[in-house]
């Protein structure tokens, strides 16, 4: 299984409603794609407070690298990714992506 982890440092002007809308659309996409499951996302509530500005994140689990590739190439993913970049502080520099085999 591949765990796709995305952390975002959203621009100060980005409302929690906008973030929730993007996350809801990502969750709806995950439900439709074979080999994708387990969308979890939201704002950090860490008592350690080591977010360093990356206060929001989400994870998606994929059955295989091929399933992750299908997601990455999907037009809805590309559109939602563009929204993340648009709302991230510094554009793409405000986004971290990790893919870990678990």
CATH number at residue 30: 3.30.70.100
Instruction: Answer whether residue 57 is part of any domain.
Output: no
Question: Which H or E element spans position 7?
Answer: strand 2-8
Q: What are the tens digits of pLDDT across the range 22-76? A: 999 999 999 999 999 999 999 999 999 999 999 999 999 999 999 999 999 999 9
Residue 45: the pLDDT is 96
Q: How many domains does the chain have?
A: 1
The whole-number pLDDT of residue 46 equals 95
Average pLDDT over residues 81-88: 98
In a domain, 5, yes or no: yes
Residue burial 11-25, b: 16+ Cβ < 10 Å; e: rest? eeebeeeebeebbee
Residue 44 lies in a domain: yes
| In a domain? residue 40 | yes
For residue 43, what pLDDT is reported?
A: 96
- pLDDT on residue 81: 97
Q: What is the pLDDT of residue 64?
A: 98
Provide the Cα torsion 2, 55, 18, 34; round to 10°. Answer: 10
Assigned domain for 42 exists = yes
What pLDDT is stored for residue 62 in this prediction? 98
* Sequence-distant (≥ 6) Cβ neighbours of residue 87 within 8 angstroms: 8, 10, 11, 14, 18, 19, 22
Question: Residues 25, 78: contact at Cβ < 8 Å?
Answer: no
Q: Tell me the residue range of the domain where 32 lies.
A: 1-50+67-75+93-102
């Amino acid at each position: 299984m591949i765990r796709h982890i995305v952390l975002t440092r959203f621009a100060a002007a980005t409302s929690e409603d906008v973030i929730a809308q993007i996350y809801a659309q990502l969750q709806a996409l995950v439900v439709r794609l074979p080999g994708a499951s387990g969308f979890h996302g939201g704002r950090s509530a860490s008592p350690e407070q080591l977010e360093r500005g990356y206060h929001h994140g989400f994870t998606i689990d994929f059955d295989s690298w091929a399933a992750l590739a299908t997601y990455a190439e999907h037009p809805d993913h590309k559109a939602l990714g563009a929204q993340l970049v648009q709302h991230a502080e510094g554009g793409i520099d405000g986004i971290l992506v990790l893919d870990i085999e678990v």
